[in-house]
A and B are shown apart, each in its own frame.
Chain A
Amino acid sequence: MKRINFGAIANILGLLAAWLLIIGVFALLLKMQNKVGFFSLDNLETILRQSAPVCLAALGMTLVIITAGIDLSVGSVVALVTVAIAWCLNKGYSPWISLAAGLVAGAVSGFLNGLLITRLKVGPFIVTLATMLIARGAAKGLANEQKIDAPISWLNDLLAVLPQSEKWKIFPYGVWLTFALAILTSWLLTRTRFGRHTVAVGSNENAARLCGVPVDRVKLLVYTLMGLMAGFAGLMVFARLSVGDPTTSQGFELSVIAAVVIGGASLSGGSGSILGAILGALIMATINSGCSQLGLSNWVQEIITGIIIVVSVMLDRIRVKRAS
């Protein structure tokens, strides 16, 4: 009992340590350039705001990867959601209704992914590769291959820098929403029957079936939740862009998968943690933020992020080996 908890805790502590180390290195490098303020609440807020979409999608992706699945359509669904929200706002619907429309668009996309995967018995890689194209196409079609401008509403404040008068909120609502959904998903994963069933399906689908676990229903729900989380991610992207952009978030799915993998999940299924995925997303956002403040180009960021993925997987191997 002690050992496994220790293993999970070791993973989280390792990620926290890595994150702090990365923050420390950037703070030091920036200090040498006489720039201060990397190690501050303001900067933390920036990092949290920037990583909110990846964090949100990573909540769903963690569940998907735990079932030994994958969802490549996330980026396209995010684009579709921004377009859906902008389209609704443009038609004069209230922000609440537009928001709901975005979430429904996300959830329905996820549900369709789940339906195809469980009914056609085709691998999630292929199915979501197809729906990646379909969702992207739908977004472009709905938007007439243009960005859709939308009237400014409170939705745009979700991830905006807080004005001085509202500093007591510490973070904008979008960040709080991310926290809340992370806690909820983590609870769902670790403290409910659905969560245990999810792990069982990924750990050994045959054993799950033998035990009477409704394997298809679990998968369907997992992909629907993934879609819903992509909906929330799309909402955040819309909040930032304030337009519906059918070409946004290309390659977004890969950042999300990277966050989940850095967080300690195994692509062969059966293991993964929400907190780990969040930390993975934060580590990537910190690297981006640090590099851009240092004035380093995009390509440097990409190489560093790539190295971090390799190192984290390597460390995880060592950790698992030690444990057994």
Chain B
Amino acid sequence: MAFLELNGITKRFGATLALDNVSFKVERGSVHALVGENGSGKSTLMKIIAGALDADSGTITLDGKPFNPKNPLDARESGIAMIHQELSLCPDLNVAENILLGLEQSRGGFIDRKTSEHRAHEALTQLGYPDLDVTTPVRKLPIAVRQVVEIARAVALGSKVVILDEPTSSLTQADVERLFAVIEKLREDGHAVIYISHFLEEITRICDDLTVLRDGVYIGSAMVSQVTTDDIVTMMVGRNIQALYPHSDRKPGETVLELKNLETLKGHATLSLHRGEVVGVAGLNGSGRSELLRSIFGLDAVKSGQVKVGLVEGYRPPASRWAEGVGMLSEDRKLEGLALSMPIADNILLTKLPKVIAQRQHLAEGRVWMEKMGVKAQGPAQPVGELSGGNQQKVAIGRLLHHGVDVLLLDEPTRGIDVGSKEQIYQLIDRLAMEGKAILMVSSYLPELQGMCDRIAVMHKGELGEARPTKDLSAEDIMREAAGV
């Protein structure tokens, strides 16, 4: 019997069957990938393991004994640790305080700082981070290190099962490598690791086994060494994605955006963007890629240099940029991209509202755009916050199309969304380029840039390199340039 074993798990939410007779098992000392598109039931399954939800039927055994966590705390005490996409650390507490939150060593009511720090240090050492200063406030750490702190918390807790939910979605390639090293350590120490990710390359690299879910149905499990990524994709979507990255025969036209030694908050950039082309910006996280887009769009200050949109020259606020036909997609849908409590219609139409709104017409127009973008929702008045990540992203991009912009600044257009939605967004980008729009796209996912872009420029410490034809650049070239070696 496997260490953690789920058999015949079924879960309904009202009329929808979220999980239909799903089985899943994971051994100690192994990494098991859970794969499936958004909405396939991965999160529901993990919530059941982590005690946040109850299964309607089915059995769970942990270490050979029946396991029915009453609540998340109960599951945590039984050795299940869940590391969420959005990390749950207190930024103002230091590393040690975060790792031992809830497990504080106290002596007569006072926290025994020495012992706490020692234990935190131990947990970090176990993960290969003996040099991390445990007294640093978490606020000061980059996101990749915060993640390690979160995993260290699981280790300090004595967790045996560690669930990683999309751990790499906001990491750069180099950070991903470091995370993989941490996962290796967890495996060596005999943890059972459950790894949820949209990135199949990662799964084939780090995982031993995988289980695929589709629409709440258990499709199958396999040893990673015995399947190809194509097999996995076929299992996930039930069809073969042959051209994940559509790339029509594009013909670049006139220059629409020109940067001449533009000085952003992080560095400098020179670039010209033409109609009918997709230009990618590669680089490590924090290298200043987003700042570049933000400076062009007027969200961040510009220190010096030139920005020229069409015939207009100068630094302009976002409202003017929209008027000039430039639109920007934020990398963070929740914090900047969308007004989550507002209806879909309002989010799409917000940049171009009439002074007086005729509600019926407003919703009808929202519905038209919803359908054009293939947003799955109850209707245009549904709050955007209730949609899945992929549908939210389609709403955010729909705003640019509704506005009718010529220049699209896309910051991580496919971050955290399912394969199906990604495919739709790739096709959309290709179609827009064919229609003569100019697209400047930032992405941390190299295959995506290589698949979609005509030219790629690499950002290193704020300095943007020359944009070169994609076919002249290998993934290794880009990585080397991004890392500055």
Residue of B nearest to A269 (CB): B341
Interface residues of A in 149-208 (CB under 8 A from B): 190-197, 199-200, 203-204, 206-208
Interface residues of A in 1-29 (CB under 8 A from B): 1-5
Residue of B nearest to A212 (CB): B319
User: Is A54 an interface residue when CB atoms closer than 8 A count as contact?
Assistant: no
Bound Cα distance from A213 to B347, whole angstroms: 12
User: Is B141 an interface residue when CB atoms closer than 8 A count as contact?
Assistant: no
Give the Cβ gap from A62 to chain B, nearest Cβ, in Å: 15
Output the residue of B351, B353, B380 with the most chain A CB within 10 A: B353
Chain B positions 372 through 387: 1 when the CB is less than 8 Å from some CB of chain A, otherwise 0: 0000001111110010
Bound Cα distance from A143 to B475, whole angstroms: 77
What residues on A are CB-neighbors of B383 within 8 Å? Answer: 4
Chain A positions 51 through 67: 1 when the CB is less than 8 Å from some CB of chain B, otherwise 0: 00000000000000000
Bound Cα distance from A203 to B330, whole angstroms: 16
User: Does B338 lie within 8 Å of A204, measured CB to CB?
Assistant: yes
User: Does A211 lie within 8 Å of B357, measured CB to CB?
Assistant: no
User: Is B195 an interface residue when CB atoms closer than 8 A count as contact?
Assistant: no
Interface residues of B in 340-363 (CB under 8 A from A): 340-343, 346-347, 350-351, 353-359, 363
Give the Cβ gap from A270 to chain B, nearest Cβ, in Å: 4
What residues on A are CB-neighbors of B341 within 8 Å? Answer: 203-204, 270-271
What residues on A are CB-neighbors of B299 within 8 Å? Answer: 209-210
Contacts known (A204-B340, A206-B335); A191 close to B359, Cβ less than 8 A: yes
User: Is A34 an interface residue when CB atoms closer than 8 A count as contact?
Assistant: no
Contacts known (A207-B336, A211-B318, A214-B319); A2 close to B353, Cβ less than 8 A: no
User: Interface of chain A, helix or strand or loop or mixed?
Assistant: helix
Output the residue of A2, A196, A207 with the most chain B CB within 10 A: A207
Bound Cα distance from A70 to B356, whole angstroms: 26
User: Does B356 lie within 8 Å of A1, measured CB to CB?
Assistant: no
Interface residues of B in 200-241 (CB under 8 A from A): none
User: Does A1 lie within 8 Å of B378, measured CB to CB?
Assistant: yes
Contacting A196 at CB < 8 Å: which of B320, B330, B346, B381?
A: B346
User: Does A210 lie within 8 Å of B353, measured CB to CB?
Assistant: no
What residues on B are CB-neighbors of A206 within 8 Å? Answer: 330, 335-336
Residue of A nearest to B385 (CB): A324
Contacting B350 at CB < 8 Å: which of A213, A214, A271?
A: A213
What residues on B are CB-neighbors of A207 within 8 Å? Answer: 330, 336-339, 347
User: Is B317 an interface residue when CB atoms closer than 8 A count as contact?
Assistant: yes
Output the residue of B297, B350, B363 with the most chain A CB within 10 A: B350
Contacts known (A211-B351, A213-B350); A1 close to B322, Cβ less than 8 A: no
Contacting B356 at CB < 8 Å: which of A2, A5, A192?
A: A192
User: Is B25 an interface residue when CB atoms closer than 8 A count as contact?
Assistant: no
Contacting B381 at CB < 8 Å: which of A1, A204, A271?
A: A1
Contacts known (A3-B382, A200-B342, A271-B341); A210 close to B359, Cβ less than 8 A: no
User: Does B339 lie within 8 Å of A3, measured CB to CB?
Assistant: no
Bound Cα distance from A211 to B328, whole angstroms: 9
User: Does B378 lie within 8 Å of A196, measured CB to CB?
Assistant: no
User: Is B146 an interface residue when CB atoms closer than 8 A count as contact?
Assistant: no
Contacting B353 at CB < 8 Å: which of A193, A209, A270?
A: A193
User: Does B382 lie within 8 Å of A1, measured CB to CB?
Assistant: yes
User: Does A212 lie within 8 Å of B318, measured CB to CB?
Assistant: yes
Interface residues of B in 294-348 (CB under 8 A from A): 297, 299, 317-323, 328, 330, 335-343, 346-347
User: Is B28 an interface residue when CB atoms closer than 8 A count as contact?
Assistant: no
Contacts known (A4-B383, A191-B356); A210 close to B336, Cβ less than 8 A: yes
User: Does B378 lie within 8 Å of A199, measured CB to CB?
Assistant: no
Output the residue of A204, A209, A212, A324 with the most chain B CB within 10 A: A212
User: Is B191 an interface residue when CB atoms closer than 8 A count as contact?
Assistant: no
User: Does B353 lie within 8 Å of A196, measured CB to CB?
Assistant: yes
User: Is B399 an interface residue when CB atoms closer than 8 A count as contact?
Assistant: yes
Q: What size tier do the contact residues of chain B reach? A: 35 or more
Contacts known (A5-B381, A203-B339, A206-B336); A193 close to B346, Cβ less than 8 A: no
User: Does B339 lie within 8 Å of A192, measured CB to CB?
Assistant: no
Bound Cα distance from A210 to B321, whole angstroms: 10
Contacts known (A2-B379, A211-B350); A199 close to B339, Cβ less than 8 A: yes
Bound Cα distance from A303 to B350, whole angstroms: 43
Interface residues of A in 48-106 (CB under 8 A from B): none
Contacting A191 at CB < 8 Å: which of B297, B323, B357, B380?
A: B357
Output the residue of A196, A210, A270, A324 with the most chain B CB within 10 A: A210
What residues on A are CB-neighbors of B355 within 8 Å? Answer: 192-194
User: Does B363 lie within 8 Å of A1, measured CB to CB?
Assistant: yes
Contacting A4 at CB < 8 Å: which of B353, B359, B381?
A: B381
Contacts known (A191-B356, A191-B357); A200 close to B339, Cβ less than 8 A: yes
Bound Cα distance from A321 to B386, whole angstroms: 12
Give the Cβ gap from B110 to chain A, nearest Cβ, in Å: 35
User: Does B318 lie within 8 Å of A193, measured CB to CB?
Assistant: no
User: Does A204 lie within 8 Å of B336, measured CB to CB?
Assistant: yes
Give the Cβ gap from B385 to chain A, nearest Cβ, in Å: 8
What residues on A are CB-neighbors of B328 within 8 Å? Answer: 210
Give the Cβ gap from B359 to chain A, nearest Cβ, in Å: 7
Residue of B nearest to A324 (CB): B386
User: Does A193 lie within 8 Å of B336, measured CB to CB?
Assistant: no
What residues on B are CB-neighbors of A203 within 8 Å? Answer: 339-342
User: Does B339 lie within 8 Å of A204, measured CB to CB?
Assistant: yes
Give the Cβ gap from B449 to chain A, nearest Cβ, in Å: 23
Residue of A nearest to B367 (CB): A1
Bound Cα distance from A194 to B354, whole angstroms: 10
Residue of A nearest to B353 (CB): A193
User: Does B339 lie within 8 Å of A4, measured CB to CB?
Assistant: no
What residues on A are CB-neighbors of B337 within 8 Å? Answer: 207, 210
Residue of B nearest to A204 (CB): B339
What residues on B are CB-neighbors of A199 within 8 Å? Answer: 339, 342, 346
Residue of A nearest to B339 (CB): A203
Bound Cα distance from A271 to B342, whole angstroms: 9
Residue of A nearest to B355 (CB): A193
What residues on B are CB-neighbors of A211 within 8 Å? Answer: 318, 322, 350-351, 399
Give the Cβ gap from B442 to chain A, nearest Cβ, in Å: 15
User: Does A4 lie within 8 Å of B350, measured CB to CB?
Assistant: no
Give the Cβ gap from A207 to chain B, nearest Cβ, in Å: 5
Bound Cα distance from A192 to B335, whole angstroms: 25
Q: Give me 30 A-to-B residue pairs in the complex whose CB atoms sit less than 8 angstroms apart, sorted by A's number.
A: A1-B381, A1-B382, A2-B378, A2-B379, A4-B381, A190-B359, A191-B357, A191-B358, A192-B357, A193-B356, A196-B350, A196-B357, A199-B346, A200-B339, A204-B336, A204-B338, A204-B340, A204-B341, A206-B335, A206-B336, A207-B330, A207-B337, A207-B338, A210-B318, A210-B330, A210-B336, A212-B320, A212-B323, A270-B342, A271-B341
Besides A1-B363, A193-B354, A207-B337, 10 more A-B contacts (Cβ < 8 Å) are A1-B381, A2-B379, A191-B358, A199-B342, A200-B342, A203-B342, A204-B335, A209-B318, A213-B319, A213-B350
The 4 closest A-B pairs by CB, nearest first: A1-B379, A212-B319, A203-B339, A206-B336
Interface residues of B (CB under 8 A from A): 297, 299, 317-323, 328, 330, 335-343, 346-347, 350-351, 353-359, 363, 378-383, 386, 399
Interface residues of A (CB under 8 A from B): 1-5, 190-197, 199-200, 203-204, 206-214, 270-271, 324
